[in-house]
Structure 1
Amino acid sequence: MKILLLGGTEFVGRAIAEDALARGWDVTVFHRGHHEPPQGVASLRGDRTAEDGLRALATDETWDAVVDTWSAAPSVVRDAVNLLSGRVERYVYISSRSVYVFPEPDGLGEDGPVVDGSPDDGDVEYAAAKRGAELAAVDVFGDRALLVRAGLILGPYENIGRLPWWLTRIAKGGEVLAPGPRDAGLQYIDVRDLATWTLNAVEQGLGGPYDVVSPPGHTTMRELLETCIQVTGSDAELAWTPPETILEAGIGPWTDLPVWLPPGDAYDTMHRGNVTKALSAGLRCRPVQETVTDTWEWLQSIGGRAPQRPDRPTVGLDAETEAKVRCSCEKARARATPSTRQ
């Protein structure tokens, strides 16, 4: 098959490009030139946000599918959709489960209500941007638009910093602030499983929305962090701390402590989603051990410092705050332990 990737040099786009190449597909990558694309692709350069930035795509060339990973102004997707209409059989937009109205109704999956959005929007908040881009694709391609609503994405090439932060912190060793409940289930998708499912869906001619993330409870916070210890060979000790203590200290879920959310609506929305539709369409998720191991190996191969997307905040808890919270917890435990002295 012939596939065009709008992006294709970082994280999700790169994983999709590499999977397509491994299938023997003809892959074209349209990108700004900030990062080297995978070896073996045809490379076209342009800045989608600039005037006449799509000039390199204004040709007679056709593709079986385009995969678009854009996550900002929907009008940028609208312009690409209009330009490629008639020359692409299927438009795949990598969207997000953030398009659902919060909190997401329990068990509804793709039938849940979505936020408002417009293909003509400029800079809007993330959920509205993703929804507006979805509408841009559907307006032109109809049921030939595949909307891949991903959840939390982890794995090699991650440029957000969530799993790399935990790996780096745990590799340093010592006592590590570990957010409870320790057996809280986590729902995420390895970027390579996302890529595989997406390209299989292209081959199958699927269209419409699919929530693409692991089943709830694919791993737990305990298993994730203990796997990080095992993979890094660290002597780290996990200091499990109640959610209430963490929140009272002003530590932000998801940002200061990546991946973690305390019990409540946000946790239920992110980690208890209904993915029956994607599973029925062939979604398979590798074990957490493989995701953590491969991410650590990739991180070491690039010098131990993960790339950072300029449009996303840096995640992770600073060492000083972590030490203060651990110290306060130790004092509280000491006060709660009866003295053995007579």
Structure 2
Amino acid sequence: MRLLLLGGTQFLSRAVAAEAVRRGHVVVCANRGRSGTVPPGVRTVRWDRAEEAPAELTDGASYDAVVDVARHPSHVRRALDAVPEAHWVFVSTISVYADDADPAGPGKGALRPAITDDVDAAESVDAYGGMKVACERLVLDELPGAAVVRPGLVVGPGDPSGRFAYWARRSTATGDVLAPGRPSDVVQVIDVRDLAAWLVTLAEDGTGGVYDAVGAPLPIADLLGECLPDANLVWVDQEFLEADGVQPWAGPDSIPLWLPRPAYDGMLAHDAGPALAAGLTPRPLAETTRDTRAWLDADPAARIGGITAEREADLLSRWGSQGF
């Protein structure tokens, strides 16, 4: 297979490039070359997608498949114009869904209003999700047989968000560890390597359809139990954390992976069944934890995020003083 990957230098797209090369495919990555390097064995074409595609992108050769991770509608339009006949695998996001409390997936969940102009995705999740909705529509309108893949929380070695890495870093912890919310709160993650492998398979097989690319939902107690098997998890109520200004999800004063309930009951509880039936094969969570920890140990500069140990100890002390 001759695969065009739009990206190839960061986290998921780089993992896709590496997996495709490992399987013996010819891989061309089109990118600006500003945010990292492509894996060995990949040919790179420089393309700032704010501009028209360079002639070098096609140079008389065709592509069997395209994998695109773009978030800007104009970028997708230009790519579709440049490579209109290949099988497309477009990587979207579960942030296209309008209601984070509702886990309804493709064909059931309402989508955010499409944002057809390019805006700063950092402005809000609405901007990011809305542009991805517009990108999906461009691809499916032009190529009805394309695959649209909506990942949830992608984790594993190289994760730039630090959300799962916060817990993997502590995988050998003993003693008390603050666990946020209720043990029964549902979460789900997908290892970047498993997602990348599946995207390559969708490209190889010419598979179409719309999928939520997620691992099986599980109680957060199970996830943290896998990540920190020797720790004593101390469950701290959401109301206490919110009153103390602890932030959810990600950031320097956050407890990563924690999401307020019921407002986010559905965000990490999507149906993995259709993706699993289409070949997505998640590895055991313990393996993801182990490999993420190894990556962190090998790269001291890796971004983690989350509250400090001192902040956690203070929260646990004050929570315990209330008699819980």
Normalising by structure 2, we get a TM-score of 0.87
Give the superposition deviation at 1:295: 1.1
CA distance in 1, matches of 2:62, 2:101: 38
**Whole-angstrom distance in 1 between the partners of 2:178 and 2:300:** 21
2:249 match: secondary structure: coil
Matches within 5 A, 1:203-218: 203-217=204-218
Report if the CA contact (8 A) 1:110-1:211 is conserved.
no
Partner of 2:190: 189
Q: For 1:315 and 1:305, how far apart are their aligned partners in 2?
A: 12
Distance 2:9 2:105 in 1: 34
Q: Does residue 260 of structure 1 match 2:253?
A: no
Q: Please tell me the residue identity of whatever aligns with 1:305.
A: A
1:191–1:24 Cα change, 3 Å: same
Structure-2 residue corresponding to 1:227: 226
Gap regions ≥5 residues in structure 2? 122-126
Where 1:129 maps in the other structure, the secondary structure is: helix
- Looking at structure 2, the residues matched to 68 and 155 of structure 1 have their Cα atoms a distance apart, in angstroms, of 20
Conserved 8 A contact 2:8-2:16: yes
> Which residue number in structure 2 is paired with residue 161 of structure 1?
162
Is the 1:48–1:54 contact (alpha carbons within 8 Å) kept by the matching residues of 2?
no
Question: What is the alpha-carbon root mean square deviation over aligned residues?
Answer: 2.5
Partner of 1:63: 63
Is residue 249 from structure 1 mapped to residue 249 from structure 2 by the alignment? no
Q: Say whether the 8 Å CA contact 1:48–1:76 is kept in structure 2.
A: yes
In structure 1, what is the equivalent of residue 307 of structure 2?
317
Match for residue 326 of structure 1? 316
Alpha-carbon distance in 2 for matches of 1:172, 1:56: 51
Q: For 1:306, which of 298, 302, 311 is the aligned residue?
A: 302
SS of equivalent to 1:253? strand
Partner amino acid, structure 2, of 1:12: L
CA distance in 2, matches of 1:58, 1:322: 54
Question: Counterpart in 2 of 1:340?
Answer: none
Aligned position for 1:293: 290
Change in Cα spacing, 1:154 to 1:274, as seen in structure 2 (3 Å) is same
Which residue number corresponds to residue 97 of structure 1? Answer: 94
SS at match of 1:266: coil
Superimposed CA distance per residue, residues 263-297 of structure 1 (whole angstroms, 9 cap, x where no aligned partner)? 31312x12221233212212221111011111111
Q: CA deviation at 1:95?
A: 0.3
> What CA deviation, in whole Å up to 9, does each residue of 1:18-77 have, x standing for no partner?
21112111111122223121111112223223x457564253321111111123x22222
Q: Which whole-Å CA distance do the structure 2 matches of 1:135 and 1:106 have between them?
A: 21
Name the aligned partner's letter for residue 85 of structure 1: P
Within a 5 Å distance, the mapping from 1:171-190 to structure 2 comes to 175-190=176-191
State the Cα distance separating 1:5 from its structure 2 match: 0.8
Q: Which moved more, 1:75-84 or 1:174-183?
A: 174-183
Asked if structure 2 preserves the Cα contact closer than 8 Å seen for 1:74 and 1:122, the reply is no
CA distance in 2, matches of 1:132, 1:245: 39
Structure 1 unaligned segments of length 5 or more: list them.
Answer: 308-313, 337-342
Considering only CA atoms, is the larger Rg found in Structure 1 or Structure 2? 1
Asked if the contact 1:170–1:229 (Cα under 8 Å) also holds between the matched residues in 2, the reply is yes
CA distance in 1, matches of 2:276, 2:295: 28
Task: Kindly state the Cα deviation for residue 128 of structure 1 after the two structures are TM-superposed.
Answer: 0.5
Secondary structure at the counterpart of residue 176 of structure 1: strand
Cα deviation for residue 169 of structure 1 reads 5.3
- Give a deviation string over 1:228-287, Cα, whole Å, max 9, x none: 335xxxx865332122211221212212111122431312x1222123321221222111
TM-score (ref. length: structure 1): 0.83
In the alignment, residue 80 of structure 1 is paired with which amino acid?
A
Aligned length: 315
1:129 correspondence with 2:126: no
Larger helix proportion of the pair: 1
User: What's the secondary structure of 2:92's corresponding residue?
Assistant: strand
- Indicate if the aligned counterparts of 1:164 and 1:296 stay in contact, CA closer than 8 A: yes
Structure 1 match to 2:4 = 4
Identity of aligned residues (%): 37
Alpha-carbon deviation of 1:194? Answer: 0.9
Q: Within 1, Cα distance between the matches of 2:232 and 2:110?
A: 42
Q: Is the CA contact 1:170–1:176 (under 8 Å) kept in the aligned structure 2? A: no
Partner of residue 80, structure 1? 79
1:170 deviates by 6.0
**Whole-Å separation in 2 of the counterparts to 1:129 and 1:55:** 27
CA contact (8 A) 1:157 1:298 kept: yes
Match of 1:283 in 2: 280
Three-state SS of the structure 2 residue aligned to 1:257 is strand
- 1:162 to partner: Cα distance: 1.1
CA contact (8 A) 1:6 1:66 kept: yes
